[in-house]
Chain A
Amino acid sequence: MPIAPEDLVEKTIAPLEELGIPEQLQRSLASHQANLVTLAKNLLDGGQSEDMVQQTLDAVFSAYRAELAKTIMSLREHP
């Protein structure tokens, strides 16, 4: 049975909990998560394998995560 795009995205962003997302970033993260689900769905619809889709999601989210971590640090230093 093919994996659902939501599950692929969940797998990608799961380690994020340790960061402790401040309130002002929650909306950004929710929007990004929804957009990743749409991306995963469209890549799967385009015929990409689950592995390839996972790799794409990992690459996109890794860049977002790094920026998110920097932003969290900045908000903590200068609330």
Chain B
Amino acid sequence: MIMELKTEDEEGRQRALDRYEVLDTQEEKPFETVVNLVQNTLNVPMCAVSLIDRDRQWFKARRGLGVRETPRDISFCTHAIKHGEPLVVNDATQHPTFKDNPLVTGDPHIRAYLGIPLMTPDGYNVGSLCAIDDKPREFPAHEVNILASFAKIVIDQLELRQIAASDPLTGCLSRRAWVEKAEEEIKRAHRYDRALSVAIMDIDRFKNVNDTYGHPEGDKVIKLLAEVAEAEIRDQDGFGRYGGEEFVCLMPETALNEAESVAERIRHAFSDRETETAKGDTLSCTVSVGVAELTDFETLDSVLTRADAALYEAKNGGRNCVVCNGTTNADVKVEA
């Protein structure tokens, strides 16, 4: 199916890029392989998988480029993504749009550029795969076609990453993706001495739902909690399915008391909602939550264990409540 290109919908484009959860991630072999192959096949000194974020271009993989990102407004790739066509610049010093560009007049002294938009299956150009030379050159049609083929391979990899990162039932982060994100955010929190909290939540008496109404109805309840939680958290937070009816929420830049408020909002919102069974009955469930804030030098395992201990306490304390595991022994329980 040929998808219509959506070049005017910048908000949708940014959402499509954000869905990939790829910005500021580590190097990954599939993308490194592509830039290696492009460099060798097209015989260029520079090439990159460039992703266009709100105000920057960020390189998921790069060869011959010293920086990991540049301002968006000077990037060639931001021009490449405006159209559905390859952007070909044979000599940037002669090009009316690019001759005064700092990437042309200064390092890395771009002279020739070939960029193929990276178009998602739903029609958004999230970046480009580009081949760059510091000498003027032409890119014959077969080279354009080869780069276009590699661009599709890049999208294949981004899509596959997304499947791995998404829980198929709820669409929220998979356990693997959540752990990866949490590890990254914890490193960042320690490096910059920032607050970070995690919450673990578990749907109360969920086994009864499955036993009484069957698994399809249980799935509806699980999906409802994910939907409610996603609506209550911020873009930078990470909500993931940890397994079964257990979910985890990562809250960067969030101290314990703020995290507790978020957890309370989720708990209230979930208990206020109902699902309708195939037989027309309505089902209402509650959730118990354990919250913990990261301490100095603490690992993900450790902070999760403390949040889990708080969840255990919430379950033992009557369910449908939020319990915080403080950094001291003075835990705080918030009654329903």
B-binding residues in A (CB < 8 A) = 24-25, 28, 31-32, 35-36, 38-39, 42-43, 45-48, 56, 59-60, 62-64, 66-68, 70-71, 74-75, 77-79
Binding site for A on B (CB under 8 A): 29-30, 33-34, 36-37, 41, 142-143, 145-146, 148-150, 152-153, 156-157, 159-161, 163-164, 167-168, 174-176, 241, 243
Interface pair A64/B156, CB less than 8 Å apart = yes
- B241 cross-chain contacts in A, Cβ below 8 A: 78
**Complexed CA–CA distance, A68 and B176 (Å):** 14
Contact assessment for A75 and B160 in the assembled complex, using a CB-CB cutoff below 8 Å = no
- Residue contacts A-B, CB under 8 angstroms, 17 given: A25-B160, A28-B156, A28-B160, A32-B156, A35-B153, A39-B149, A42-B145, A45-B142, A46-B142, A48-B41, A60-B33, A62-B33, A63-B30, A67-B161, A70-B164, A74-B174, A74-B175
Chain A residues near B168 (CB-CB < 8 A): 24, 75, 79
Given contacts A39-B146, A59-B33, A63-B29, contact A78 B164 (CB under 8 A): no
Using Cβ atoms and an 8 Å threshold, which residues of chain A touch B152? 35, 38-39
What 5 new A-B contacts, CB under 8 Å, besides A28-B163, A78-B175?
A: A42-B142, A45-B142, A62-B33, A63-B30, A64-B160
Interface of A is mostly: helix
Note all chain A residues with C-beta closer than 8 A to B36. Answer: 59
Nearest residue, chain B, Cβ from A59: B33
CA A65 to CA B33, docked complex, whole Å: 13
Which of B156, B159, B164 contacts A74 (CB under 8 A)?
B164
Chain B residue at smallest Cβ distance from A74: B176
Are A64 and B149 in touch, CB under 8 angstroms?
Answer: no
Give A73 to B322 CA distance when docked, in angstroms. 33
Residues of chain B within 8 A (CB-CB) of A74 are 164, 174-176
Contacts of B164 in A (CB 8 A): 67, 70-71, 74
Q: For B30, B241, B243, which residue has the most chain A Cβ atoms within 10 angstroms?
A: B30
